[in-house]
Amino acid sequence: MVIRLSERWPEVGPDRLLSECVPPPRFADVRFATYLPDPDEPSQTAALEALTDRATKLAAPRRAPTLWSRLRTSRPDPGKPGIYLDGGFGVGKTHLLASLWHESSGPKMYCTFVELTNLVGALGLRTAVDALSSYRLICIDEFELDDPGDTMLISRLLGQLVAAGVELAATSNTLPDKLGEGRFQAIDFLREIQGLAAHFDVRRVDGPDYRHRGLPVAPDPWPDEKVERTAADRPYASCDHFVDLHRHLAELHPSKYGALLDGVETVGITDIRPLSDENVALRMVVLADRMYDRNLPLIAGGVPLDQLFSADMLKGGYRKKYLRALSRLIALARAS
């Protein structure tokens, strides 16, 4: 029987949300030893060394503060509580971040920035702080501020977690003090953005940038009838009309998009259409990320995937999100 994602209403409790905050299957086996820095890009080697040093520190048992350590007035500078890898697509930032998580002792958490904001939105700030304050390390992939609400929320969250002794690590395509530019009036939230940036030791990771190599060529779309027929023939395949799917996503909290794909091994979508609504487009980005995490092949009808987002969208403040989503969707379509 074909699965209809648009007919599913998953319920996701706090325990599941927290338990799923681990590197996705694609990065389950990566380690520092499997990261091969480009010899022509010394910043990659430097980033590897910096995270390896931090992992060594985080692998050691946590020591409780002694009375003497509390009374000492001159203590060595422990450094910033976070490390932030800035660089283009395809230079291995996520590989390094996941390796840090794997090689550090717990309790620890790994999530994308979107997953973190969704988690806090689902739990509430107070509950999230209570739940995460005991963690030793929180790794945040694809750090980006999309709106003023995110800025205020994450500023408060990370400030309280750092005060509780939590170490942070993050990756992004944007320097911390430039977060939010092109998306909202970042200057109005400069104090919060600067406060976030102050938590991190920034390390640039250079290399060939996906944004400058052009989009990958999308495969030809399938006829809708073939999408439906193939989905019916494959075990645990879903198939939905594009409009039904994106309307359904609007009725679900994004923290449930992963659970929406439970038990699915192939995703089929018919009659894909160019998007003009940014809200719809951003929901599709989140779904694409969850599909990519799970390595789900995509069989797609309608317009070619590289026409999903308009030219104006690909020039706007969310262009990095859309480029990443296109790259991932096209890769999943080629895997079908």
Q: Which of 77, 82, 79 is nearest to 100 (CA)?
A: 82
- Give residue 22's pLDDT: 94
Residue 94 within a domain: yes
Scan for tokens 């995270």, then name that residue. Answer: 51
- Give residue 191's pLDDT: 54
Claim to verify: residue 164 and residue 219 sit in the same structural domain: no
Token pair, residue 267, equals 């995703």
Percent share of the chain, pLDDT over 90: 54
Claim to verify: residue 62 and residue 43 sit in the same structural domain: yes
Q: Specify the CATH number for the domain of residue 156.
A: 3.40.50.300
Claim to verify: residue 196 and residue 120 sit in the same structural domain: yes
Claim to verify: residue 60 and residue 184 sit in the same structural domain: yes
Amino acid at 200: F
Claim to verify: residue 199 and residue 65 sit in the same structural domain: yes
Residue 265 within a domain: yes
Say yes or no to pLDDT of 211 above 50. Answer: no
Claim to verify: residue 290 and residue 306 sit in the same structural domain: yes
Say yes or no to pLDDT of 71 above 50. Answer: no
Token pair, residue 238, equals 């879903």
Boundary residue ending a domain (165, 183, 209) = 209
Question: Looking at residues 233-250, what average pLDDT do you find?
Answer: 97
Residue 220 within a domain: yes
- Give residue 64's pLDDT: 56
Question: Looking at residues 273-294, what average pLDDT do you find?
Answer: 94
Claim to verify: residue 167 and residue 239 sit in the same structural domain: no
Spatial separation of the C-alpha atoms in residues 163 and 167, rounded to whole Å: 10
Residue 18 within a domain: no
Q: At 285, is the secondary structure helix, strand, or coil?
A: helix
- Give residue 255's pLDDT: 84
Residue 117 within a domain: yes
Q: How many CB atoms lie within 10 A of CB 49?
A: 13
Spatial separation of the C-alpha atoms in residues 264 and 299, rounded to whole Å: 13
- Between 114 and 314, the more confident residue is 314
Say yes or no to pLDDT of 51 above 90. Answer: yes
Spatial separation of the C-alpha atoms in residues 249 and 332, rounded to whole Å: 20
Highest mean pLDDT (candidates 1-15, 155-169, 235-249)? 235-249
Say yes or no to pLDDT of 108 above 90. Answer: yes
Claim to verify: residue 39 and residue 149 sit in the same structural domain: yes
Spatial separation of the C-alpha atoms in residues 142 and 38, rounded to whole Å: 22
Boundary residue ending a domain (190, 209, 228) = 209
Number of domains in the chain: 2
Say yes or no to pLDDT of 150 above 80. Answer: no
- Give residue 42's pLDDT: 94
Question: Looking at residues 203-214, what average pLDDT do you find?
Answer: 66
Claim to verify: residue 126 and residue 254 sit in the same structural domain: no
Question: Looking at residues 247-269, what average pLDDT do you find?
Answer: 95
- Between 153 and 68, the more confident residue is 153
Claim to verify: residue 250 and residue 174 sit in the same structural domain: no
Domain residues for 259?
5-11+214-334
Boundary residue ending a domain (181, 209, 237) = 209
Residue 91 within a domain: yes
Residue 20 within a domain: no
Claim to verify: residue 247 and residue 146 sit in the same structural domain: no
Claim to verify: residue 165 and residue 182 sit in the same structural domain: yes
